[in-house]
Amino acid sequence: MWALAGTGTYYLEINCAMPSVDENKQWWNDGYVWKQGGDEWSRAWGGVDMQWHAAVLPRIHSFVPAGRILEIAPGFGRWTQYLTGLCDHLIAVDLSENAIEHCRQRFAGATNIDFFVNDGSSLEMVPDASIDFVFSFDSLVHASADVLRAYLLQIARKLTRDGVAFLHHSNLGEYTRYFSAVEKIPPRGQPLLKKVGLEYRTHWRDPGMTAGRLREFAQEAGLICISQELFGWGGSRRLIDAISMVTLPESKWTRPLRLLRNEDFVRDISVIARLAPLYSADSFPASAE
């Protein structure tokens, strides 16, 4: 189901229907082969270390270190390995028993992490008003709008007064008409779209989810959306993903929404990859010791 693009990023090679929670659970438990523990998704950046320090950390540095962090859908711990050193206590929640078991083994020596398997949308194991920072990247893009709404309703209760949530999710719904038209094109003609910078894959994202709906869900939950970054993949001009940051109205981080349509996201990936042989931690002999 997954394939490797020329840029080094992984994608769903066919237009699959938006997966249900049960289908997500089955795929991440029994379908996907974690050949590199999820690190394969960072290949385009020159590795996990480069993606974290050059792409992820700059986006969250204002909010870490934090007292208590909640990571939603950690997978095999690609970001967990960094988050655990940025907080006093880390709670990681995933619907995949396989992923959580791997994380428990991988981080067996860590004394500040608690791992939980959930039903794909519940945060009942997290104490109310206890979380300073919520993090989810490269995971909830495969969650439906209903799941995002359920999480936001709970996040509003779990955050401390100045807590902030950083959520990577689908914006595919902004292009519903476009993808409806693409579906009518015969499969043999779809690859031609990519050559002219047009996207033809939905990447297992929810066509009913958008940045706008995230703002609506946040408002319903009593949260304020303070920033949104929209971006795409593989050279496409369709910005099918979004990163949204939300907080409580009384938070010190509250401000009017700032929205960026980042059409340079893929270009930035290539720049980071070019720097990796010079600066990534695993480019030095000492990293192999």
Cβ atoms of residues 101 and 76 within 8 Å: no
pLDDT for position 55:
98
Q: For 6-64, what is each residue's pLDDT tens digit?
A: 444 444 444 556 678 888 878 788 778 888 888 999 999 999 999 999 999 999 999 99
- Verify cis geometry, omega within 30 degrees of 0, for the bond prior to 207: no
Percent of the chain with pLDDT over 70: 85
What value does the mean pLDDT take over residues 248-268? 97
pTM: 0.89
Residue 234 — pLDDT band, cuts 50, 70, 90? confident
Residue, of 148 and 202, whose pLDDT is higher:
148
CA–CA dist 98, 105 (Å, integer): 11
Tell me how many degrees the CA angle 16-20-23 measures, rounded to the nearest 5: 80
Q: Which two tokens stand for residue 12?
A: 């769903």
Q: In this predicted model, what pLDDT tens digit does every residue of 212-231 receive, in sequence order?
A: 999 999 999 999 999 999 99
Report all structural domains of the chain as residue ranges with CATH numbers, in order of start.
2-10+21-281 (3.40.50.150)
Q: How far apart are CA 83 and CA 66, in angstroms?
A: 9
